[in-house]
Structure 1
C-alpha cells in the first residue's frame, strides 16, 4: 500500500478523522497555519506542497504560476485564463467556486439542514432578522471546498453587493464527518454574510464559512481580509457592482459557501449531493 493510500485509509475512519481534525486546539493551529503558510522560503514551500500532495489529490496543472513563493501563494493560486467560463444565461445563478455539492433544497419556513435530520435556522446562520424574512421559504445550496481545490470564488451572476456582515466564531472542520457530529456547525464557525441583489432585483446571499486551517477570508468588495483578529459581528456597508464571473475573493484553505435565493428559483439538473461542480457551472435557474 502506498503512503497516500495508508493516509486515506486512516482518515476515512470517522472517529480518528474527527479526533485529528477537531479535538485539537483549533484556533491556535489555525493561527499557526496562517503564519506558517506565508513563509517565503523555497525549501519550506516545496516540502509543504509535497506533504500536501500526500494527503490530497492536489493538481496544479491548471495554475497560472508554475512556481510559488509560499504555501499561501499556492493555496490562493489563480488559474490559467479561460478555464472557468461562466454560463452566460442571465437566468442562471452559477456556482461561485469549485466545490462538492452538499445539503441543498427548499428552506422550510426558516429552517435549513446541514445533513438530513440536522437542522439549523436562518437566524442562527445570518444573525439578521430582516434577511431571514427575505429568504423565508427560499432555496439553499451548500458548496464545500476541499483543501486541494481552487480557492477563489466569483460572482455567480450580475450582482450589486450591498453589505457584508462578519460574524466571529469557531473553526470546526466542515467535512461530512464533522457535519454529522457538531450541531449547527455552520452557525458556530466564523463566517461572512454577503448581501447582494441580482440585476432583476431578487436577493441573493452568499455565506462563506471558515474552517480549521482557514487563516483568513479575503473580500475585494470591502478591500479587507477577515480573520480571527476581526471583531464580530461587524457590518461593512458597501455599494459594489460585480459582473458574473468577477472574482469576489478567496479562502486560504478549503471551506464552505452557502448560497441563498428566493423560492421561485429552481435547481439545475447537475445539482446532486456529492457531485463535483466547477466555478461557472449552473446551480439554480430563475424561471422565464
Structure 2
C-alpha cells in the first residue's frame, strides 16, 4: 500500500470511529449505559465483561475482588492494597490516576491546548475568574483514562480541598480522534472543578472531565455522584484535608483528568506525551 493509500485508510478509520462514538444520541446512550451496567445478573455481567475484553486490554489481575456483581462493579473496581503507593518525595505532585499522558506544558497567560494547535482558555474550562488568576502562566497536564484502566483517582499531594464546582455539559468522547475534531471539547463536557491548596498555600486544581458512557463522577468526601441529574447547588464548599494517595473518588468509565499546578513546578522526566503513568507516580516537582 502506498503512503497516500495508508493515510486515506487511517482517515477513514478515524472518521468511522468518530461517527460511531459521537454522532449518536450521546446523552440517551450514556443514561442507558448507566442503567445497564448496574444490572446484577450473572449472564448479563459475564457477557458484558467478555465483550469488553474483546475490544480492550482489560486486565483484572490487580483487582481486589475476583468476582463482580455487575459490569459497573467491575468498572469501579478497587485494587489490591499497596499496588499504587504514592511517591514519598514531599516536593512531588503525583499522578492522581492510571492514565495515558496527553497534552501538557506551560499555560500561556490563560491559554492551554487539548492537542497541538487546538487551544482553549482557563476561563472556559473553570468558569471562575479568581481561579483563572491563580493558574495564570502555570503548568497543566492532561491525563486520559482508557475504558480498561483502573478508574479510581487519588490526591496528588498533601492538600486541603476548599471547593468543588460541578459544570453541566455534553458527553463527547474524549479520545484523540474527537480532540482533533471538536474545538474546546473539555470546556463543553460535564466536569467537576476540584479546588485545593498544598500545605505551602499554593493552588492545585483537578478537573475530572466526564465523557460518553461516563458522565458520572463519584467524590467520596462529598458523598455524592455528580452527573446530568445533579441539581443545585453546583458549588459545594469543602474543608477536607487529604494525604497524598488518599482516594478522592472514581469515574464510572474511562475519561480525562486535567491537573493544574503552579508556574514554578517542573515536569518530571517520565512525563512524555503518549506515555503511560500509574497513580502515585511522579508527575511534577517543586524545585528545592
CA, structure 1 residues 107+215, in 2 after alignment: closer, same or farther (shift >3 Å)? closer
Q: Which residue of 2 aligns with 1:6?
A: none
Shift of 1:230: 1.1
**Pairwise mapping of residues 12-31 of structure 1 onto structure 2 (< 5 A)?**
13-31=13-31
1:124–1:187 CA contact under 8 A, matched in 2:
yes
SS at match of 2:157: coil
Structure 2: how far apart are the matches of 1:12 and 1:83? 40
Q: Which residue of 2 aligns with 1:86?
A: 86
Q: Does 1:61 align with 2:61?
A: yes
Q: Which residue of 2 aligns with 1:208?
A: 208
1:33–1:215 CA contact under 8 A, matched in 2:
no
Which structure 1 residue ranges, 4+ long, deviate > 2 Å from structure 2? 9-12
**Pairwise mapping of residues 37-186 of structure 1 onto structure 2 (< 5 A)?**
37-186=37-186
| Aligned-CA RMSD value | 1.4
CA, structure 1 residues 12+68, in 2 after alignment: closer, same or farther (shift >3 Å)? farther
Shift of 1:89: 0.6
2:217–2:250 CA contact under 8 A, matched in 1:
yes
Task: Output the TM-score relative to the length of structure 1.
Answer: 0.95
Structure 2: how far apart are the matches of 1:51 and 1:233? 38
Shift of 1:231: 3.5
CA, structure 1 residues 218+176, in 2 after alignment: closer, same or farther (shift >3 Å)? same
CA, structure 1 residues 12+223, in 2 after alignment: closer, same or farther (shift >3 Å)? farther
**Pairwise mapping of residues 275-286 of structure 1 onto structure 2 (< 5 A)?**
275-286=275-286
CA deviations 1:81-101 (Å, max 9, x no partner) are 111110011100000000000
Q: Which residue of 1 aligns with 2:273?
A: 273
2:171–2:215 CA contact under 8 A, matched in 1:
no
Shift of 1:10: 9.4
Structure 1: how far apart are the matches of 2:118 and 2:195? 25
Shift of 1:192: 0.2
Count the aligned residue pairs: 280
Shift of 1:232: 6.6
CA deviations 1:2-55 (Å, max 9, x no partner) are xxxxxxx99991000000000000000000000000000111000000000011
CA, structure 1 residues 233+99, in 2 after alignment: closer, same or farther (shift >3 Å)? farther
SS at match of 1:13: helix
Structure 1: how far apart are the matches of 2:87 and 2:124? 32
Unmatched tracts of structure 1, length 5 or more: 1-8
1:168–1:231 CA contact under 8 A, matched in 2:
no
SS at match of 2:104: strand
CA, structure 1 residues 12+281, in 2 after alignment: closer, same or farther (shift >3 Å)? farther
Structure 2: how far apart are the matches of 1:276 and 1:142? 12
Shift of 1:112: 0.3
Unmatched tracts of structure 2, length 5 or more: 1-8
Q: Which residue of 2 aligns with 1:218?
A: 218
Task: Output the TM-score relative to the length of structure 2.
Answer: 0.95
Q: Which residue of 2 aligns with 1:5?
A: none
